[in-house]
Amino acid sequence: MIKKEIFGFIGTFFLVAIAIGSGIEDGTLVNDGTTMFDPGLTYTDHTPDGSEIIISRSRYMEQVQGFWLAQCIANWTGLVTEMDRVGPPFYTDDDWGKADKRNIWGYYGPSPNGMIEYVFVREGDTWYSDDDTDIEYMYQHLLDLHDKSVLSPEQIRNGWLRHIHSNESAPNGENYLWESNEVAYYLMLDGVLPPATSEPADNPKYKMIDAQLTTEIFGLFSPARPDIALNMAHFPIRTTAKDDAEWAAKFYVVMYSLASYVESGLSMREKVFWLAERARDILPAGSFVAGMYDHIRANYDHNPDKTDWESTRDDIYSVYQKGSADGYVYDQPFDAGINFASSLVSLFYGEGDLPRTIRIGALAGWDSDNPTATWGGLLGFLLGRDGVEKVFNEYDLSDTYWIHRTRRNFPDRTPDIDGEDTFRSMSERCIYIIDRVVMEEMG
């Protein structure tokens, strides 16, 4: 039973309320700054009682920029090795900085120089969209467009059909959807609405990874309130996932939501482990994702060499892909299950170090761009844009984003430069969505 403690808007602050019973015990305010107001939203007042926790609104905006930047770095770094290794011989740390190998389709990844290393896009160029970022971009746009905190199934369907090509209409016949996303799209084209688009009878791909890489951002839309974040993410997750695939996606949403609540004085390692332990509660007892979490965490804890992530990766191959432990039956390297397990290897052994986490994720195997993008976004949010630049010692990284590489019919917010948007503008619109969430869902 969650008891809500609700506050409103006061002066230059607005509140992100808390949920007692989910590990959070105080109200949360967000500093409004000076000029950032959504003209389409009525802000209400609140008299503070001294129990509130203050979060800088401008700082949150900078953190969201860190989310987008680090997610793009991680996504494109992971794409270099995507599907290169789905079984032995796997990559190891020794392969970092060496030549990329062909993937299961016989192609090389999009490395600028053919090497397995971090991918950066410099000022003057633009970050390309990919399915790890463009669906989240679309969901933010739909929330902004409809002035809603929770999207209806009809709004999701209409948004998908407006902004995503079919293979028949896409340039070069490629609509950048795969697996469950692809099936759900064509079901929506036939008039089916979420959550029916993820029902096994119509979508045999419902156990694939798709929802894990398209819905994490809903946690950022509801700072410190995972209960509300999960409600916002319900239909987007159920557009493509059910059961264990759904629960894995929820795990990430909870971590993202609580990232604004975790104690600032903790080390990055302490933060990610605290977040993971809180999110573990969302995984149902008896589910294979719960079993995977417990097994991999125990494997990490009992490993005396915390640099030896490879032994845990090899273990999940033996125990889960080959051994079908905890009721998991491996089907494809796009499975939600094996990639959830792989993501935990990079999360635990990365220990909150953004470059190290991305490196492990890129080398771990399977659908390697997905876990890297998820953790890149989370750690990038914790660090903020400036922190991301600092940990990589890279200070000339692009702020622009080309959404129309993979999607369509979005406003061009940067008509004088390449791409259609900037991380700063994307982050400002995120703040306005949070404003509405506070007013509509927490007030």
pLDDT at 411 over 50: yes
Q: What are the tokens at 264?
A: 């600032």
Tell me the pTM.
0.93
**Residue 97: inside a domain, yes or no?**
yes
Q: What is the tens place of the pLDDT at every residue in 132-174?
A: 999 999 999 999 999 999 999 999 999 999 999 999 999 999 9
Q: What is the tens place of the pLDDT at every residue in 26-43?
A: 344 444 444 678 888 888
Tracing tokens 């070069």 back to the chain, one arrives at 172
Q: What is the tens place of the pLDDT at every residue in 72-90?
A: 999 999 999 999 999 999 9
Query: In total, how many domains does the chain have?
Result: 1
Number of Cβ within 10 Å of residue 351's Cβ equals 17
Q: What pLDDT does residue 15 have?
A: 46
**Residue 43: inside a domain, yes or no?**
no
Q: What is the tens place of the pLDDT at every residue in 349-400?
A: 999 999 999 999 999 999 999 999 999 999 999 999 999 999 999 999 999 9
Q: What is the tens place of the pLDDT at every residue in 263-276?
A: 999 999 999 999 99
Which CATH number covers residue 255?
1.10.4080.10
d(CA 70, CA 389): 9
Q: What pLDDT does residue 53 have?
A: 63
pLDDT at 13 over 60: no
**Residue 216: inside a domain, yes or no?**
yes
Worst-scoring range by mean pLDDT, 4-8, 187-191, 339-343? 4-8
Q: What is the tens place of the pLDDT at every residue in 223-261?
A: 999 999 999 999 999 999 999 999 999 999 999 999 999
**Residue 313: inside a domain, yes or no?**
yes
48 pLDDT band, cuts 50/70/90, is confident
Average pLDDT, rounded, for the chain: 92
Tracing tokens 């993410």 back to the chain, one arrives at 233
d(CA 432, CA 221): 9
CA distances (Å), origin 65, targets 38, 124, 142, 361: 19, 18, 19, 22
**Residue 79: inside a domain, yes or no?**
yes
Cα atoms in the 13 Å half-sphere on the side-chain side of 32: 18
**Residue 149: inside a domain, yes or no?**
yes
**Residue 412: inside a domain, yes or no?**
yes
Angle at 381 between CA 379 and CA 384, to 5 degrees: 105
Total length of the chain = 443
Number of Cβ within 10 Å of residue 35's Cβ equals 5
Domain that holds residue 143: 57-433
**Residue 245: inside a domain, yes or no?**
yes
Burial degree of 264 (CB within 10 A; 0-12, 13-18, 19+): exposed
